[in-house]
Amino acid sequence: MRVFYSRVSSDDGSQNPERQLQKLKGFDYVFTDMCSGSIPLFERPKGSQIKKLIDDNKLNHLEIHSIDRLGRSTIDVLTVWDDLTKKGITITCRNPNLRNIDESGKADKFSELMMSILSTMSTFERNLIRERQMEGIRIRKEKKLYTGRQVGTTDTPERLLKKEKSKLILKYTEKGYPVREIAKLVPCSKTTIIKVRKANNMFNQN
């Protein structure tokens, strides 16, 4: 089954999906989401329908107008790309021209190189953000503005699991990522990952 997917940032008329919806002959489904790119692909209305086709083993080809339609960040894009590639689902991107699996069923070497570059940029971006965070904390400490968590305050399991960082940790945990890799992807400490996992287990047991 062949699916073409597009997304525009709003449904108020300020953006028109027509530019993305060209050359659609031969597709079984054409899906267009009108929502923020901050929403993960498979949590979007039409994206969730794509996820159902994947879960039902019906999807074998997904085509998109541009690579950023797959996720809100480089990490999300790489995660979706890798996940679909492992499932043998062909991804074709029109802008830039990328394809994870070539006509012979083998990994497309040029696209592998491009995704490797994206992965390197993503790692650099995460490290840069982390360095800026640490630098900000250091400066605030010097000015006696950084106090950390107040004594006597703790996160309940429910409050901890509602945090965006915790949701990412659980997402990568479900995908089978090891603790060390999750710590790099989120980023966070290994202790935080363990706390989130324990909180999730406790919450599910109740």
Block mean pLDDT (10 aa), the chain, length 206: 85 52 84 82 91 95 87 80 90 87 81 73 66 74 60 67 88 86 84 89 72
pTM over 0.75: no
Q: Which CATH class is domain 2-112?
A: alpha beta
Single-letter residue type at 51: K
pLDDT (0 to 100) of residue 12: 42
* Cβ atoms 186, 194 nearer than 8 A: no
Least Cα distance to 90 among 76, 104, 77 occurs for 104
For the chain, the structural domain boundaries read 2-112, 151-206
User: What type of residue is 101?
Assistant: I
The answer, yes or no, to whether the previous bond of 187 is cis (omega within 30 of 0) is: yes
Instruction: State the virtual CA torsion across 86, 176, 40, 88 in degrees, nearest 10.
Output: 10
pLDDT for the residue 19: 61
